[in-house]
Structure 1
Amino acid sequence: MKKEIDFKKAIGQHTLLYGEINTGKTYYTAQFIDYLLKSEYISPADISVLDFAPALNINNIKFGGKIKDFSKMSLKCKYLPLEGEIIPPRFNARDRKELFENVCHNYKIATKSLQLFNENPTNFLIINDLSIYLHLGNKNYLLQTIINVNTFFGNSYYGTKIKSSFSKLLSLKERKRVEFLINHIQNSILTSK
């Protein structure tokens, strides 16, 4: 990471980690939850978790992962349910049609969970892999959700390694939407190896 994260200072702020795959985004997000529960004694009921990351293991290489893979303590928090499995849109598509089907599938799941959060918000919102929502979701709705909470800590893919010949437009759209958030979230941190 180019910039060390002071978890204590992240409380009361909005923090976005963004970067390439395998740069610690999910790990640091999970560590923040552990910090809240262990060091700050925040009630798990005050911490909402939206985990949009697909479980990925391709050719025995693990990409990203879910928060619970890095923090068993996080399971005490208020996980908002996902009505279905998130599909890695580019990895599980053979053509543009399948890519679009995957993105639509994920959008429905992510949108429903985000709406559930907004109906019953908590002071702390954690989102893992928010780029899944941004593929089709409303960036302004997401930003307003983030602004409305006391503390936000989330992460997003922002790189070039996940690609295919038919996903260039999706990758460009994803990049622009993440840049929108970077420009509007006070504590945006680029992760790197």
Structure 2
Amino acid sequence: MQRSQKKVSASELLGISTLIVGEVGSGKTALTAKILDDLVDLGYAQEITVIDIGPDKLGVGGKLSNYSKRIGEIRLLEPKGLRAPRLEGKNAEEVIRFAEENKRKIEPLFLSFLDSPTNILVINDLSIYLQAGPVETIFSLMEMARTFLANSYYGRRLSEDYGSGITKKEMEAVNSLLKKVDKVIYLQ
């Protein structure tokens, strides 16, 4: 696994798996959008699927469409009504319920990609899925794409989960991904 900082060329990510990680507000979604736009500029629009699972609100993450100028030129899969469990949940039961609901809304998009894969797969805000979903599903997605690019929360600021256990599950899953991908981009 190669570790890197912010300066990255889209062309150097072709043919490998890359995970962008960092704390809230570190620029993960913005960097992912820049790389996506660069890939479109390089002529790969027809080969790209984006699965955008960033929550709609609450000042965390955000949608790639808020950052990308070229999002309309690629295959975009987006679930409706995702929640930010740790920020919106008021107790452990609610946090778990929101995480499970998110998983149920996201999994059909993953199946859609597996049924009709493209060479390049970009996933925005992978941590939302990993709070309740198995990391093995992500490994399957990685295997189907020649180029895999995803970003994920990886920090401590959102650790309060009311004892639900989703923070620990998410952290363990991201750690598994960090060991599996070819390149990790850490943002501070």
Count of paired positions = 185
State the partner residue of 2:76: 79
Deviations 1:147-186 (A, max 9, x none): 2211111100011111326146211111111000000001
Matched AA of 2:74: C
Identify unmatched segments of 5+ residues in structure 2. Answer: none
1:157 to 145, 153, 158: 153
Q: Distance in 2 between matches of 1:80 and 1:165?
A: 28
TM-score relative to the length of structure 2: 0.92
Task: Give 1:63 deviation, angstroms.
Answer: 2.2
Give the counterpart letter for 1:126 in structure 2.
V
| Distance in 1, Cα, partners of 2:164 & 2:185 | 25
Q: Does 1:50 align with 2:51?
A: yes
* Residues 1:18 and 2:15 aligned together: no
Cα distance change, pair 90–167 in 1 and its aligned pair in 2 (3 A):
farther
Q: Please say if residues 124 and 152 of structure 2, whose CA atoms lie closer than 8 Å, have aligned partners that are also in contact.
A: yes
Query: Structure 1 residues 168, 100: CA separation in 2 closer, same or farther (over 3 Å shift)?
Result: closer
Tell me the C-alpha RMSD between the 2 structures: 1.5
Overall identity of the aligned pairs, in %:
29
2: CA distance, partners of 1:174 / 1:51: 18
> Would you say the 8 A contact 1:99–1:167 is kept in 2?
no
Structure 1 distance, partners of 2:61, 2:153, is 9
Letter of the structure 2 residue corresponding to residue 79 of structure 1: L
Inter-CA distance 93–152: structure 2 relative to 1 (3 Å threshold): same
Q: What is the CA–CA distance in structure 1 between the aligned matches of 2:112 and 2:83, rounded to whole Å?
A: 20
2:86 corresponding residue in structure 1:
90
1:33 corresponds to 2:30: no
Task: Say whether residues 1:5 and 2:27 are aligned partners.
Answer: no
2:114 to 118, 122, 143: 118
TM-score (norm 1): 0.90
